[in-house]
Amino acid sequence: MSLESPHDRASAHGSPAPTATGDQSDWVEVIRQHVASLRFGVIQVVIHEGRVVQIERTEKYRLNHRPSQP
């Protein structure tokens, strides 16, 4: 079973999208890898009929801007 549709084979950061064979350890490992590589962001797991069908990753970049002083 694929985690993403055939139309969306690349993740947001350009690497090939992972696939799952139905084994829980597959999607758990995908989530672990995404969590380990994120500094700021969100990982969303989509479940359909009790099965993980999609994993979405949103990464945020924080810019350090100092406010100007009057």
Q: How far apart are CA 11 and CA 2, in angstroms?
A: 13
Is residue 2 pLDDT above 60, yes or no?
no
Mean pLDDT of the chain: 74
pLDDT per position as a tens digit, 3-29:
443 334 344 444 444 444 456 788 999
Question: How far is the CA of 24 from the CAs of 53, 57, 64, 69, in angstroms?
Answer: 11, 19, 39, 53
**pLDDT for position 70:** 67
